[in-house]
Amino acid sequence: MLFNSLDFAIFLPIVFALYWLIPSKNLKVQNLLIVAASYTFYGWWDWRFLALILFSTLVDYIVGLNLKKEKPKSFRLTLLWTSIAVNIGLLVFFKYFNFFLDNFAEAFTFFGGEIQTRSLNIILPVGISFYTFQTLSYTIDIYKRKLEPTTDFIAFAAFVSFFPQLVAGPIERASNLLPQILAPRKFVQSQAVDGLHLIIWGLFKKVVIADSCAVYVEEIFSNYESMNSFTLLLGAFYFAFQIYGDFSGYSDIAIGTARLFGMNLMRNFNFPYFSRDIAEFWRRWHISLSTWFRDYVYIPLGGSRLSRWNGFRNILIVFLVSGFWHGANWTFIFWGALHALFYIPLFLMKRNRRNLDIVALDRVLPNWREFLAMFRTFFLVLIGWIFFRADTIAQAFNYLKGIVSLKFDGFMQYLTIERYAPELLVLITLFIIIEWFIRRSEHPFYGRLRLIKLIGILFLLITQGVYTDAKDFIYFQF
Question: Using one digit for the tens of pLDDT, what is the confidence trace for 70-88?
Answer: 778 888 899 999 999 999 9
* Residue 257, in any domain of the structure: yes
Burial label, 165 (beta-carbon count in 10 A; 0-12, 13-18, 19+): buried
Q: What is the pLDDT of residues 12-24, one digit of tens each?
A: 999 999 999 998 7
* Whole-angstrom distance, CA of residue 171 vs CA of residue 267: 10
- Write the DSSP symbol of residue 149: P
* For residues 466-477, average pLDDT: 63
* pLDDT value for 468: 45
Residue 179 domain flag = yes
Domains of the chain: total: 2
In a shared domain, residues 38 and 153: yes
Asked if residue 105 is part of any domain, the answer here is yes
Same domain, 128 and 252: no
Position 419 scores a pLDDT of 47
| 246 and 172 part of one domain | no
Q: Are residues 167 and 58 in the same domain?
A: yes
The pLDDT of residue 418 is: 53
Whether residues 139 and 207 share a domain: the answer is no
pTM of the model: 0.90
What pLDDT is recorded for position 420? 47
> Considering the domain boundaries, does residue 422 fall inside one?
yes
Half-sphere exposure of 152 (CA within 13 A, CB side): 18
| pLDDT above 90 for 266 | yes
- Residue 222: give the domain boundaries: 191-276+355-477
In a domain, 320, yes or no: no
Domain presence at residue 77: yes
Q: CA 400 → CA 74, 390, 392, 394, 406, distances in Å?
A: 52, 11, 13, 10, 11
Confidence of residue 445 (pLDDT cuts 50, 70, 90): confident
Residue 195 sits at φ, ψ, to 5 deg, of -65, -45
- pLDDT bin (cut points 50, 70, 90) of residue 178 is very high
Q: Is residue 234 part of a domain?
A: yes
**Helix (H) or strand (E) run with residue 351 in it:** none
Q: Single out the catalytic residue among 197, 326, 339, 443.
A: 326
Domain boundary among 156, 185, 214: 185
Do 35 and 172 fall within a single domain? yes
Q: Write a three-state SS string for 24-46.
A: CCCHHHHHHHHHHHHHHHHHCCC
- CA-to-CA distance for 376 and 374, rounded, in angstroms? 5
Among 131, 151, 155, residue whose Cα is nearest residue 142: 151
pLDDT of 278 over the 70 cut: yes
- Do residues 158 and 219 share a domain? no
Of 157, 185, 213, the residue at which a domain comes to its end is: 185
Q: What is the pLDDT of residue 111?
A: 53
Q: Do 416 and 436 share a domain, yes or no?
A: yes
* Domain end (from 116, 151, 185): 185
- Residue 281 falls inside a structural domain: no
Q: What is d(CA 131, CA 313) in angstroms, rounded to the nearest whole number?
A: 27
Are residue 121 and residue 267 in the same domain, yes or no? no
Annotated active-site residue 326? The verdict is: yes
> What is the identity of the amino acid at 76?
R
Same domain? For 204 and 107 the reply is no
> What span, in angstroms and rounded, lies between the C-alpha atoms of 328 and 97?
9
Contact indicator for 359, 274 with CB cutoff of 8 Å: yes
Distance (Å, rounded) from C-alpha 351 to C-alpha 335? Answer: 22
